[in-house]
Amino acid sequence: MDMEIIRERMKAILNENRYQHVLGVEEVCKDLAVIHGYDMEKAGIAGLLHDCAKNLTDEELLQKCKEYHLPVTEAEEKSIYLLHAKVGAAIAKDQFGVHDDDILKAITFHTTGRPAMSLLEKIVFTADYIEPNRKPLPRIKEIRIAAYDNLDLAVFLILKNTLDYLKSTSANIDKKTIETYEYYRKVDLNLAHEDPCFY
């Protein structure tokens, strides 16, 4: 599907802030694809579509899970918004005609990440966090530098920030996020000296 058509459709289904966010993610995904050696167009499509289910209400997300026969985990039951990732992948396939498995997985795991992500999954996960329309977040400068230099380190720093934030709000933490954090904590040897953090 033509990128301009996807953009128009996303503009129609998202509010203005969210639309600006997905445009920002699309741009950063393309930059990261060039830097880290991935197909730029595929990265752009994944970035643009990653939040295509973000406009849906909790009820609509649960309804879509039934419709697409998607399992709902315990963590997702407690934090329904997490479902916008897997429902987004189903909508990308069903309504936008995306059949590329790498793009669909990048959409599915953009919120929690997962251990041993593919390059595109790491690109979308990171771009979602660092795109320029995001409000300032802790350590964002360091994460932006890492994103262009050492993507695994950027993923680790994002997960650490996310877990620190979730802990501070005593929100539910998806165990996938913890698993992913534990995986990426060990990936970068430069981090081996750091004290382990337990969540």
Per CB under 5 A, the segment of 8-16, 61-69, 121-129, 185-193 that binds Fe ion is: 121-129
Interaction between residue 51 and Fe ion (CB under 5 A): yes
C-beta separation of 177 from 158 below 8 A: no
Among 26, 76, 121, 128, binds Fe ion (CB under 5 A): 128
Q: H helices of the chain, where? A: 3-13, 16-36, 40-49, 58-67, 74-78, 83-94, 101-108, 119-130, 140-149, 151-169, 175-187
- Minimum distance, C-beta of residue 182 to Fe ion, in the bound complex (Å): 22
- Minimum distance, C-beta of residue 190 to Fe ion, in the bound complex (Å): 28
In the region spanning residues 141 to 170, those forming contacts with Fe ion, defined by CB under 5 A, are none
Interaction between residue 121 and Fe ion (CB under 5 A): no
Cβ contacts of 118 within 8 Å, gap of 6 or more: 102, 105, 106
- Minimum distance, C-beta of residue 18 to Fe ion, in the bound complex (Å): 8
Positions that interact with Fe ion (CB under 5 A) = 51, 128
